C-alpha cells in the first residue's frame, strides 16, 4: 500500500464507513479541519483510489461519495485498521514539531546521532528537518545553534522559550487531552487523526511532569480574585504557562531579561495577583522568584481573553482602561472602518464597548509580542473577505499606537466583532425561545454567533454565555432553557444540546431552525455580505443632486439634504428625523472631512432602497465640528440590509479626502457638471480604489 497522510487516511476511513454522500463541510466539521483542506486531500486521494480500483464520485450538490463494491470497502477498511496498529511513522512536519519540542525542553546540547535515534531516520533527513525547526524558532525570536563537536541547542530569552513550549503543546494536542492531565480522575481521550502527536511519549511525559492540577487550581484562584472568567482557550494557555514556569524555575531557568514597564501597563490588580501567586509558589518550592517573573505572568494575564457576562448582551460593562486608552484607539479605528462598511458603526455603542474590551489584551499582546492563535482565521477570511481587507487596512491605527504590525490572527478576531455589528443592522424582536451559548474561544466568536442567531431567528433569546466547564453546573430547568448551542463537545446532557461550528454552517443553521420551528415559524433571512452593487455614479443622478441650497440651521440642512431621496420614495420622513436625532445625540461625528458631512441613520428607520444624494449649501452650515466646520457639501446615504452600498461608500470614502475634487463639486453650476466631476474622479482613481482592497 502506497503512503497516505493521516488526514487523508481519516477522510478515506469516513467515506468507507458511510455509504451516503457527504459535503466537504460535514467532513471538515467531524475532523476539525477546514473545507478547503478537505478539498485538497480529496484531490490527492483520487489517484490513490484509482490504484485500488475505486473512484470518488460527486453529486450535483457537490457532495462526495466512494464508488466501490461492498466487499472491496470491507477489505480496505481492514487493511487501514491494521495499518493504524503498526508503529507510528512520523511525517516530516510531525518530526519538525517533535524535534523542536525536544530541543526546547532539553537541558544540554544534543548530538545528531541522538536525534537520529529519537526520530528513527537518517542523518540527511534530520539535517533537512532541522531547517524547518530553525525557521519555526526564528519566528519565535529563538536561535538554533549548531556547532561541530558541541552539539545542537536553542538560545533565546527564557520568556520566549516558555511561550514556544506552550504554543507547540496547544497547537498539536487537543484541549481535552491537555485538560485530562489537570484532573487526576479524568481518562485520556482517544487520539484522532488531527492530533496524532498525542501518541508521542515525550509530550505525555512532559505533561505528567508539569503538575497541571496545581496550576489549574492557581488559575481558578486568579479568576476568583480578579472577578473575571477567562475563555477556555486562555485558561488552558495560562495554566500551561504557569505550570511550565514552575518547572523551569525549579530547574534553575529564571526570567531576568523581561522588561514589563512596571505600572505603566499594569495598574494594580494583575501585577498584585501575580505577586501573591508567586509568593505562594516560593513557599511551596523553596525558591526565590524575581520581579521579572511576576511581570511576565502579569502581562500574560492582561493579554488573556475574557468571557463576556450575560449582562453584556444588552449593556456592555464599563471599561477600566489603563494603557494607550483602548477606547480612544477603538473609536479611531472604527471611524476609518465606518467609511468603508457602514457609517452607523462609528457610533454603535455595543461595538465600541465590546471591541474596546477586546482591544486591551490586543494592545498588551502586541506590545510584548505575546503569541496569539486564531483557529478560525481561514473561515473568517473565506466568509468575510471584504470586511477582513477593510479591517486589515484600517488596523494601521492600532499599529501607529503600538509601533508594530497587527498579525492576521488579531485582525480575524476584530472582523468577528465588526461582522456581528453589521448583522445587528437587521431589525429583530426580543424572542421568547430561551437559549444558552457555550463557547470556548472568546468574546469575538460569541458576539458573531449572537448576532447571527438573532438575525436569522428573531424568536431566540440568548439567556447566558458559559464556558465548557460552567455548563455542567448550570441548572437548565430552573432557567427555563429551551436549547443549549455549543461550539465544544458537551457530555452527559440530553438532546437539548446541539454542537455547532462557531461560524454556524448551513447544517448548523438547519439544525437550529428545526428546533425553533417546533414552536415558531417564519424565521428571517440573513443579510448578504457582498461587495457587488451600484457605484457612486449610479446613485447620484439628476434627481438626487441639489446645488446652492439655502438653510439657516443644521436641522434645516439635514431636512433639505434628505428631501430629494424622500420625494423619490427611496427613504421615508422617519429616516430624516432619525438623522437629526443622531446628530443631537452624538454631535458632529458625521462631519468626516473639511466641509463634508455624510448623513445617515439605521436601515430599519425608513430606507426603501439603496440611495444617495448630494447637496451643496449656498452658505456653509455650522454643525459643531471642532476641525471640519462649516459644512459646504452634504451626502445622504440610505442603505438596506443586503449591503449593496459597499462600492458606492468605498468610492465616497476616497472622494471626500480629495480636496480638489470636493472644491469642483462645490463650485459646480448644474447637475451635469457634478455628474461629470464624479465620472472623471471615478475613472481617474478607480483602479487605485479597487486595488486598495484587492
Q: Are residues 483 and 573 in the same domain?
A: no
C-beta of residue 297 within 8 angstroms of C-beta of residue 242: yes
| 117 Cβ contact partners less than 8 Å away, ≥ 6 residues apart | none
Residue 295 lies in a domain: no
Residue 222 lies in a domain: no
**Residue 429 clears pLDDT 50, i.e. is over it:** no
Q: Are residues 456 and 392 in the same domain?
A: no
Residue 5: per-residue pLDDT: 60
Give the end of a domain, one of 85, 119, 134.
85
What is the rounded average pLDDT of the residues 535-557? Answer: 92
Number of domains in the chain: 4
Tell me the residue range of the domain where 363 lies.
310-423
Residue 263: per-residue pLDDT: 41
Residue 391: per-residue pLDDT: 93
List the one residue out of 88, 106, 103, 115 whose CA is nearest residue 191.
88
Residue 286: per-residue pLDDT: 84
Rounded to 5, what percent of the chain is helix, strand, coil? 55, 10, 35
Residue 13 lies in a domain: yes
Q: How confident is the model at residue 99 (pLDDT cuts 50, 70, 90)?
A: very high
| Cα 204 from Cα 422, distance rounded (Å) | 45
Q: Are residues 403 and 447 in the same domain?
A: no
Residue 416: per-residue pLDDT: 87
| Cα 573 from Cα 581, distance rounded (Å) | 13
What is the rounded average pLDDT of the residues 399-420? Answer: 89
C-beta of residue 431 within 8 angstroms of C-beta of residue 354: no
Return the top range by mean pLDDT from 200-204, 283-287, 533-537, 582-586. Answer: 582-586
Q: Are residues 370 and 506 in the same domain?
A: no
Q: Are residues 375 and 439 in the same domain?
A: no
Strand pairing class (591-593; 596-599): antiparallel
**Residue 522 clears pLDDT 50, i.e. is over it:** no
DSSP 551: -
| Cα 233 from Cα 175, distance rounded (Å) | 8
Give the end of a domain, one of 67, 85, 103.
85
Residue 569 lies in a domain: yes
Q: Are residues 393 and 459 in the same domain?
A: no
Return the top range by mean pLDDT from 21-35, 253-267, 348-362. Answer: 348-362
Residue 266: per-residue pLDDT: 47
- 389 backbone dihedrals φ, ψ, rounded to 5°: -65, -40
User: What DSSP string runs through 487-536?
Assistant: SS---S--TTEEE--TT--HHHHHHHHHHHTTT---PPPPPP----S--H
Residue 550: per-residue pLDDT: 94
Q: How confident is the model at residue 535 (pLDDT cuts 50, 70, 90)?
A: confident
Residue 625 cell numbers, joined: 465640528
Q: Are residues 391 and 463 in the same domain?
A: no
| 537 Cβ contact partners less than 8 Å away, ≥ 6 residues apart | 675, 678, 679, 682
Q: Classify each residue of 107-143 as buried b or exposed e, where b means 16 or more C-beta atoms within 10 Å of its C-beta.
A: eeebeeeebeeebebeeeebeebbebbbebbeebebe
**Residue 539 clears pLDDT 70, i.e. is over it:** yes
| Cα 643 from Cα 390, distance rounded (Å) | 14
Strand pairing class (545-549; 611-621): parallel
User: SS3 of 386, please?
Assistant: helix
Residue 141 lies in a domain: no
Q: Are residues 681 and 554 in the same domain?
A: yes
Strand pairing class (631-638; 611-621): antiparallel
Residue 163 lies in a domain: no
Q: How confident is the model at residue 526 (pLDDT cuts 50, 70, 90)?
A: very low
Task: Read off the pLDDT of residues 300-318 as tens digits, 9 standing for 90 and up.
Answer: 888 887 776 555 544 444 4
Look at 187 and 392; give whichever has higher pLDDT. 392
Task: Read off the pLDDT of residues 615-668 as tens digits, 9 standing for 90 and up.
Answer: 999 999 999 999 999 999 999 999 876 567 888 888 898 888 888 999 999 999
Residue 469: per-residue pLDDT: 78
Q: Are residues 600 and 660 in the same domain?
A: yes
The three-state (H, E, C) secondary structure of 678-689, written as one string: HHHHHHHHHHHH
Residue 401: per-residue pLDDT: 86
Residue 460 lies in a domain: yes
What is the rounded average pLDDT of the residues 161-187? Answer: 85
Task: Read off the pLDDT of residues 668-683 as tens digits, 9 standing for 90 and up.
Answer: 999 999 999 998 888 8
**Residue 87 clears pLDDT 60, i.e. is over it:** no
Residue 302 lies in a domain: no
In the block, which residue shows the cell 476568583?
A: 224
Q: Are residues 575 and 624 in the same domain?
A: yes
Residue 528: per-residue pLDDT: 40
**CATH number reported for the structural domain that contains residue 499 in this entry:** 3.40.50.2300
Residue 321: per-residue pLDDT: 41
Burial of 72 (0-12, 13-18, 19+ CB in 10 A): middle
C-beta of residue 324 within 8 angstroms of C-beta of residue 363: yes
Give the end of a domain, one of 35, 68, 85.
85
| Cα 45 from Cα 54, distance rounded (Å) | 10
User: What DSSP string runs through 122-177?
Assistant: -HHHHHHHHHHHHHHHHHTT-EEEEETTTEEEEES-HHHHHHHHHHHHHHHS-HHH
pTM: 0.63
Residue 318: per-residue pLDDT: 40
Residue 559: per-residue pLDDT: 95
Residue 2: per-residue pLDDT: 43
**CATH number reported for the structural domain that contains residue 12 in this entry:** 1.10.10.10
Q: Are residues 555 and 663 in the same domain?
A: yes
**CATH number reported for the structural domain that contains residue 375 in this entry:** 1.10.1790.10
Task: Count other Cβ atoms within 10 Å, centred on residue 159.
Answer: 26
**Residue 181 clears pLDDT 90, i.e. is over it:** no
**Residue 420 clears pLDDT 90, i.e. is over it:** no
- 675 backbone dihedrals φ, ψ, rounded to 5°: -60, -40
**Residue 472 clears pLDDT 50, i.e. is over it:** yes
Q: Are residues 645 and 552 in the same domain?
A: yes
Q: Which stretch of 18-22, 255-259, 360-364 has the lowest confidence by average pLDDT?
A: 255-259
Residue 1: per-residue pLDDT: 39
Q: Which stretch of 126-140, 361-375, 427-441, 588-602 has the lowest confidence by average pLDDT?
A: 427-441
Task: Read off the pLDDT of residues 227-278 as tens digits, 9 standing for 90 and up.
Answer: 888 888 888 889 999 999 999 988 888 888 776 654 444 456 888 888 888 8
Could you give the angle at the alpha carbon of 94 between the alpha carbons of 89 and 95, nearest 5°? 75
Q: How confident is the model at residue 584 (pLDDT cuts 50, 70, 90)?
A: very high
> Across the chain, what does the average pLDDT equal?
82
C-beta of residue 413 within 8 angstroms of C-beta of residue 463: no
Amino acid at each position: 500500500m502506497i503512503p497516505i497522510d493521516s488526514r487523508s487516511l481519516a477522510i478515506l476511513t469516513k467515506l468507507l464507513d458511510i455509504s451516503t454522500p457527504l459535503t466537504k463541510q460535514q467532513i471538515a466539521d467531524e475532523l476539525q479541519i477546514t473545507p478547503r483542506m478537505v478539498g485538497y486531500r480529496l484531490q490527492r486521494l483520487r489517484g490513490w483510489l484509482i490504484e485500488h480500483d475505486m473512484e470518488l464520485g460527486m453529486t450535483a450538490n457537490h457532495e462526495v461519495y466512494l464508488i466501490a463494491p461492498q466487499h472491496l470497502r470491507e477489505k480496505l477498511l481492514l487493511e487501514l485498521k491494521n495499518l493504524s496498529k503498526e508503529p507510528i511513522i512520523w511525517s516530516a512536519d510531525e518530526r519538525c514539531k517533535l524535534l523542536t519540542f525536544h530541543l526546547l525542553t532539553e537541558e544540554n546540547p544534543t548530538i545528531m546521532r541522538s536525534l537520529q535515534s529519537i526520530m528513527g531516520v537518517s542523518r540527511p533527513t534530520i539535517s533537512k528537518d532541522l531547517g524547518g525547526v530553525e525557521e519555526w524558532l526564528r519566528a519565535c525570536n529563538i536561535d538554533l545553534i549548531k556547532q561541530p563537536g558541541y552539539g545542537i541547542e536553542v538560545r533565546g530569552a527564557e520568556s520566549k522559550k516558555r511561550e514556544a513550549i506552550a504554543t507547540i503543546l496547544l497547537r498539536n494536542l487537543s484541549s481535552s487531552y491537555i485538560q485530562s492531565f489537570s484532573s487526576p480522575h479524568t481518562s485520556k481521550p482517544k487520539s484522532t487523526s488531527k492530533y496524532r502527536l498525542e501518541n508521542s511519549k515525550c509530550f505525555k511525559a512532559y505533561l505528567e511532569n508539569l503538575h497541571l492540577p496545581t496550576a489549574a487550581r492557581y488559575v481558578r484562584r486568579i479568576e476568583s480574585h480578579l472577578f473575571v472568567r477567562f475563555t477556555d482557550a486562555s485558561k488552558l494557555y495560562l495554566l500551561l504557562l504557569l505550570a511550565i514556569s514552575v518547572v523551569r524555575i525549579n530547574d534553575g531557568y529564571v526570567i531576568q531579561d523581561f522588561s514589563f514597564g512596571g505600572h505603566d501597563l499594569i495598574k494594580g490588580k494583575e501585577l498584585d495577583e501575580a505577586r501573591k501567586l508567586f509568593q505562594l509558589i516560593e513557599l511551596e518550592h523553596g525558591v526565590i522568584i524575581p520581579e521579572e517573573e511576576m511581570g511576565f505572568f502579569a502581562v500574560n494575564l492582561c493579554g488573556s481573553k475574557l468571557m463576556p457576562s450575560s449582562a453584556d448582551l444588552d449593556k456592555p460593562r464599563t471599561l477600566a482602561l489603563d494603557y494607550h486608552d483602548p477606547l480612544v484607539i477603538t473609536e479611531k479605528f472604527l471611524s476609518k472602518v465606518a467609511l468603508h462598511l457602514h457609517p452607523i458603526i462609528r457610533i454603535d455603542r455595543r461595538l465600541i464597548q465590546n471591541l474596546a474590551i477586546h482591544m486591551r489584551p490586543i494592545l498588551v499582546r502586541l506590545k510584548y509580542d505575546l503569541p496569539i492563535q486564531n483557529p478560525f482565521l481561514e473561515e473568517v477570511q473565506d466568509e468575510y473577505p471584504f470586511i477582513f481587507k477593510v479591517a486589515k487596512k484600517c488596523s494601521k491605527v492600532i499599529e501607529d499606537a503600538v509601533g508594530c504590525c497587527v498579525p492576521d490572527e488579531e485582525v480575524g478576531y476584530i472582523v468577528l466583532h465588526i461582522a456581528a455589528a453589521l448583522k445587528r443592522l437587521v431589525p429583530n424582536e426580543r424572542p421568547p425561545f430561551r437559549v444558552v451559548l457555550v463557547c470556548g474561544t472568546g468574546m469575538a466568536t460569541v458576539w458573531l454567533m449572537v448576532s447571527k442567531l438573532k438575525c436569522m431567528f428573531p424568536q431566540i433569546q440568548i439567556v447566558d454565555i458559559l464556558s465548557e466547564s460552567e455548563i455542567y453546573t448550570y441548572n437548565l430547568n430552573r432557567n427555563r432553557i429551551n436549547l443549549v448551542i455549543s461550539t465544544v463537545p458537551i457530555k452527559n446532557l440530553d438532546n437539548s444540546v446541539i454542537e455547532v461550528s462557531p461560524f454556524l454552517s448551513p447544517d448548523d443553521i438547519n439544525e437550529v431552525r428545526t428546533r425553533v420551528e417546533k414552536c415558531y415559524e417564519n424565521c428571517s433571512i440573513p443579510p448578504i455580505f457582498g461587495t457587488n452593487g451600484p457605484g457612486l455614479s449610479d446613485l447620484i443622478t439628476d434627481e438626487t443632486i441639489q446645488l446652492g441650497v439655502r438653510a439657516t440651521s443644521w436641522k434645516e440642512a439635514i431636512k433639505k439634504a434628505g428631501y430629494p431621496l424622500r420625494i423619490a420614495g427611496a427613504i421615508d420622513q422617519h429616516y430624516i428625523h432619525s438623522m437629526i436625532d443622531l446628530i443631537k445625540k452624538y454631535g458632529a461625528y458625521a462631519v468626516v472631512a473639511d466641509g463634508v458631512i455624510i448623513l445617515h441613520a439605521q436601515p430599519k428607520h425608513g430606507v426603501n432602497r439603496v440611495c444617495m444624494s448630494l447637496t451643496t449649501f449656498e452658505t456653509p452650515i455650522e454643525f459643531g465640528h471642532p476641525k471640519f466646520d462649516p459644512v459646504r457639501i452634504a451626502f445622504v446615504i440610505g442603505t438596506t440590509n443586503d449591503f449593496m452600498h459597499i462600492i458606492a461608500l468605498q468610492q465616497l470614502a476616497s472622494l471626500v479626502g480629495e480636496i480638489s475634487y470636493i472644491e469642483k463639486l462645490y463650485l459646480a453650476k448644474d447637475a451635469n457638471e457634478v455628474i461629470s466631476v464624479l465620472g472623471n474622479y471615478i475613472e481617474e482613481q478607480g483602479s487605485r480604489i479597487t486595488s486598495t482592497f484587492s
